[in-house]
Structures are given as structure tokens and as C-alpha cells.
Structure 1
């Protein structure tokens, strides 16, 4: 490994955050993203930097192409995944608490689920152009396709995303308030207050990965969702054991961790539209909760 003073390493570290951001949005997996960034480093370490025009462009190109290759196998694995698949939570520092702090939609669970419906090149093109600001010529160079082709695929991807994920301006404060009201309504266990927080076509996504109990399919409709959470509450909560909750920030927005015997068993987050809960995401797969345990151990 190079020393901290090595300019070759310093050039890579300068762009590590960008590379991780590209890889995570491409793959929806923190562990896979870290693997791709590490592979990018190995290739960078074996290059002659003097032969590269700009480190940033070279590194983004390499990590994007590695992610495209990984996506091909990942799509097959997700087709065979038991129950509902959700992206691995991307854990961030706690929000600053300012009511004006905006949710980062570019890493939202809702957006990542829409991106799963795109082809790998559409996903890459959309992210590179719409999120990271690359020109169509730059996207074309990264993807190895004509600029006109990239313009068309990005246009298709943008239309798909906008049709399935309308944009709403929601602050962290609004997210926190609605999540708090939702949890309190679940504890009280009354249908009407709970249904009043949910949109008419609200959906519950619960990812257990076949390792823990979870709703096997996406549950649609505010009445069905309200009945489900009231039933859980009346049974005594998660795992029918003593549980506690704590705030957490992941995927660009406030969320909630549910603990049983001090161990996180569910990471809960929301999508909010027009002041109502439109989607609830419940991460239950213990493999996808490892990051929360590591963060707690390191705090």
C-alpha cells in the first residue's frame, strides 16, 4: 500500500467520495460499491498518471464500467431474491436539524427502486448526466456509445423516473415529524388516525431476504397497511419482545431504527408526497443492517 504522502494515492483519495457515490447509486449496495471502488484503486495503482489527462474522468470511467459489469450479475441475483428486495441502507451522519435541510433524493430508497427498472446503461447514463452533471459527450466516452445514443437513453430513463417518482420538496423536519406521528399512531393502535397519515395508494416494502419474517410481497392500500401495523403493535412489537426505537439518518433522509435487546432488527423510512406517507420501507434482512451495528460499535 502506498504511503499517505504518495501523490498517486492522494489523487485517488481526492475522488474516493465521488467514486463511492457513483458506485452506490449504480448498485444499491454499500458492500458492492466498496468492492468496485477498491477494484478501481487497484487499476489506478497500476497506471502511469502522466499518461492520463484528468484523474477524475479516468476514475469515474473505470468505476462506471466496473459497475455495469456487476449490474449484469446483480440483476439475476435480485430476480432470485426471496421476497421484496430493497437497497442496502446508506448510512450518513445525523441531519443538522435545520427545517430547511432538504432530503437528498438522489440516494432515496424510492429512486433506487425506480432505477432498478432501467437497463444497466440507462441507469448509468441517467446517473452520470442527471445526478453527477456529465455532458452527453462525457457520458458517451464512459459508456463507449455515440453521444446521440446516450442522449436518447438518458431521455428515456428520465421520462421513466419522472413518471414513477414525481418530485416533491420535502424537508428533513417534515420527514421526522411524519415518522414520529406514524409511530405514535401505531402505538395507540387506532385505525382512523393511522389511516389519516397514509396516502390512498400507500405501499409497504418489507425486505427480510428469507432470513427473518417480513411481508413477502409489497402491501398496497392504506387500510391494509394500517391493519398490518396495528396487528404488529397488538402482538407486542417486533419479534414479540421488548423493543426500543432510535432516530437514524440513511439514504438522504431521517429514518428510524427498531431495536430488540439492543440489536437493530428493522430500519424504517418513508417516502412523503403532498404531506402523506406514500411508501414505507422496512429493512429487516440482518445482512443489510450490519452497517448500523458497525456504526453503533464505532460511536
Structure 2
């Protein structure tokens, strides 16, 4: 392949991963989709391609949609709540930083998981990457009317399940650090102060490690759950031998727990309009910790 074609693909590789990851919710599948896009790009008659960015986005979107249909069937038999695969990210700069970070948050990815493959692809391409409906219709091989209808359904669903609050980044980090300190110290009173009364905790062990098989709801139950975790041995690691680090996960500060030479779990939180924790996502399935374990930091912007 000529160097120019390789350079064109590499220039948009980050964009392709960003699109695929938001559609899949898993880094592994997103990487596979990018690889498939590379193979299709290599075999294409690129002399007929006037806009490499749009062309590559079309390829990866269609690959992701096709694969998502089979992946979705596997997730129907998943043991316990299914959560996205966390990734390490870097702070996004620019005017669209807040919206871009929100679009890759664990809470948003959970909502996108409830959409159909078409709705998810349309929402991601239009709302996050600002592709026009005409461009999306061409990319996905649908009519513009069908794309507009899918966008309307997806937008309504997302707005109903994921109200947007302007969370200050410093506040988010402060609450995350206080939450960890309270949980580690078994401080029920502080946990109750930080948690919204209707907070929900989702834990994803995938049936491979010990986790709650159903969502835990209510401040008292969630506080008791975390206070108890801080006192118990987990997967062969004593609490005193665990290390927790505040890092950027999926566009906001989160916690990575390590012990016995491996990453054990990640925890991310979402805040309500009053700055209290309204949702907690705890990923402990070892298969979903590979992207964090490899230490690669991704820039999940829109270019």
C-alpha cells in the first residue's frame, strides 16, 4: 500500500476507534472493527474516494452495526448486569469537550446499549461526530427519512434515560475521592451524605468473579455494600493489599483497584444536579479490564 494511503488511514484511526467504541461499548470489538476497516480500505479503489474521513467512517460504522447484531445475542445470556468495557482516556480540549466526554461516559454507554444497532450508529454519528443525515444515510445505506426517524427515537430515548447536568470536573474528582475514602474507611455517614437517595449500583463480574447479580438500589443498601466490601477479602486479595488510584476513565475521574499484580476492578460514578452520586458502575469481569491493564491512554475526541 502506498505511503499516502497508509498515512490517510492512520490520520483517521483514532476517529474510527472512537466511533466503534461508542457503538460497541467494548474496546476489543472496537479494535477489531478498526482492523476490518483497514482491510477494506486496503482492498478499495481509493482513486474513487474523494473524502477519506467519510469513507472510513462509513466502513467502520457498517462493520460495527453488523457485528453488534451477533454480539447483542451473546449479551442476552450474560451473567448479571452487562456494563461497557472501561478505557483510560485523556482530557479532551476544546469547545465540545464536555459533550464529547459525556458521550463516552459509562452512564451514556449503558443507555446506548438499550438502542437498536441502527439507532446507536445514527446517534453516535450525528450527535457526537456531527455527520449530517444525508451523510449518514449514504454511509449506512438507508433513506434519509429512515435515518431521521432513527435519530428522533434515539434522541428521545437518551434524553429520557440520561438527563444532562453540567457537572464540574473538579467537583466530580472531589466527590470521587471522598467516596473512595469513605468506602475504604467504612464511613457510612459520609457515604450517605454523598449518595442520592435513589442511587443505583451496577456491578459486572460476568459470572467470573463475585459480584452482585442484580442492581443495588437505595442509599442505605449501596452504602452498606461498599462499607462491607472495604472490610472483606476479594478474589484472594486482602483489603490492606489493595491499591486504588484515581485516573481518568471514560472521560471523567474514576477509580482503578489493583492487587496481587493485577487490575481487580474499576469504579465510576455519575452525579445528579445536586452533585450527589446517582449511579455507580463497578466493572470486575477480568475480560473487561484488559484495556485498563494495558495502560494505553486514548483521546476520544471527535476529529
Length-normalised TM-score, structure 1: 0.92
8 Å CA contact retained: 1:19, 1:59: yes
Q: Which one scores higher on RCO, CA 8 angstroms, separation ≥ 6?
A: 2
| Residue correspondences, number | 289
Cα deviation 1:212-249 (Å, max 9, x = unaligned): 11111111111110111112223357755121111221
Matched residue SS, 1:264: strand
8 Å CA contact retained: 1:259, 1:266: yes
**Equivalent residue number for residue 256 of structure 1:** 255
**Equivalent residue number for residue 62 of structure 1:** 59
**Equivalent residue number for residue 288 of structure 1:** 288
The within-5 A match list for 1:73-112 is 73-93=70-90, 95=91, 102=98, 104-112=101-109
Rate the CA distance shift 1:20–1:50 in 2: closer, same or farther, 3 A.
same
**Equivalent residue number for residue 201 of structure 1:** 198
**Equivalent residue number for residue 268 of structure 2:** 269
Rate the CA distance shift 1:240–1:46 in 2: closer, same or farther, 3 A.
closer
Please tell me the root mean square deviation across aligned C-alpha atoms, in Å. 1.9
Matched residue SS, 1:213: coil
1:187 Cα offset (Å): 2.8
Unaligned runs of 5+ in 1: none
Cα deviation 1:166-198 (Å, max 9, x = unaligned): 001113211110011111212332322211101
**Equivalent residue number for residue 232 of structure 1:** 229
8 Å CA contact retained: 2:81, 2:203: yes
Cα distance in 1 for residues equivalent to 2:12 and 2:227 = 47
Cα deviation 1:37-73 (Å, max 9, x = unaligned): 1111111111221112211111111111111101101
| 4+ runs deviating over 4 angstroms | 236-240
Unaligned runs of 5+ in 2: 297-303
The within-5 A match list for 1:58-207 is 58-93=55-90, 95=91, 102=98, 104-207=101-204
Cα distance in 2 for residues equivalent to 1:285 and 1:237 = 13
Length-normalised TM-score, structure 2: 0.90
1:136 Cα offset (Å): 0.9
Rate the CA distance shift 1:237–1:32 in 2: closer, same or farther, 3 A.
closer
Cα distance in 2 for residues equivalent to 1:240 and 1:91 = 23
**Equivalent residue number for residue 47 of structure 2:** 50
Cα distance in 1 for residues equivalent to 2:192 and 2:88 = 29
8 Å CA contact retained: 2:41, 2:56: yes
